[in-house]
């Protein structure tokens, strides 16, 4: 599975290929919002531009995230090229990101260098195969619930 390396938080988080970066961050308790975004955000619609992340160079040479969406092209016109809206980005391969890049990263050069030194798995792999539940054998008791006999 791809790994998202959150440099500011010093955490590696695994996810499935195609997962939304914002949703993975929220699920894992990674704070992607600054004060403005905490006070109010669009919930992932690409309208509030409070979920910035800076994406470091691809580790594997492959595209780590899906390309910028049309919304991002409009909203990020005056931002650095490696900035993305987390809510618009789907993870394809392992990636290194800096959340809230508008806030200085303390000791940033050293932390970024360390983040690049430690290898990430290449990813992606496929979603797990979920096997369908087995059909009950003929004559096998099945559990059903009814409300017969209830007062």
Shorter beta-carbon distance to ligand FES: residue 30 or 120: 30
Residues engaged in binding ligand FES (CB under 6 A): 41-42, 44-51, 85, 87
Report the C-alpha gap between 66 and 48 in whole angstroms: 20
Other Cβ atoms less than 10 A from the Cβ of 91: the count is 27
Closest CB 145 distance from ligand FES, rounded Å: 41
- The residue (of 35 and 150) whose beta carbon lies closer to ligand FES is 35
Q: What's the closest the beta carbon of residue 72 comes to ligand FES, in angstroms? A: 9
Residues 105/111, Cβ–Cβ less than 8 Å: yes
Q: Which is nearer to ligand FES, 85 or 91 (CB)?
A: 85
- Residue nearer to ligand FES on the CB measure, 46 or 121: 46
As measured in angstroms, the least distance from the Cβ of 8 to ligand FES is: 17
- Burial group, residue 52, by CB count within 10 angstroms (0-12, 13-18, 19+): buried
């Amino acid at each position: 599975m791809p790994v998202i390396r959150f440099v500011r938080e010093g955490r590696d988080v695994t996810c499935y290929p195609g997962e939304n970066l914002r949703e993975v961050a929220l699920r894992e308790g990674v704070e992607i919002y600054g004060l403005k975004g905490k006070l109010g955000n669009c919930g992932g619609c690409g309208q509030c531009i409070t979920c910035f992340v800076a994406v470091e160079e691809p580790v594997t040479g492959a595209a780590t995230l899906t390309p910028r969406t049309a919304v991002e092209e409009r909203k990020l016109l005056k931002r650095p090229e490696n900035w993305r809206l987390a809510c618009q980005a789907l993870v394809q391969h392992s990636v290194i990101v800096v959340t809230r890049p508008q806030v200085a990263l303390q000791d940033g050069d050293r932390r970024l260098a360390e983040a690049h030194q430690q290898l990430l798995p290449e990813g992606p792999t496929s979603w797990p195969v979920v096997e369908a539940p087995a059909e009950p054998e003929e004559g096998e008791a099945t559990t059903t619930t009814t409300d017969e006999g209830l007062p």
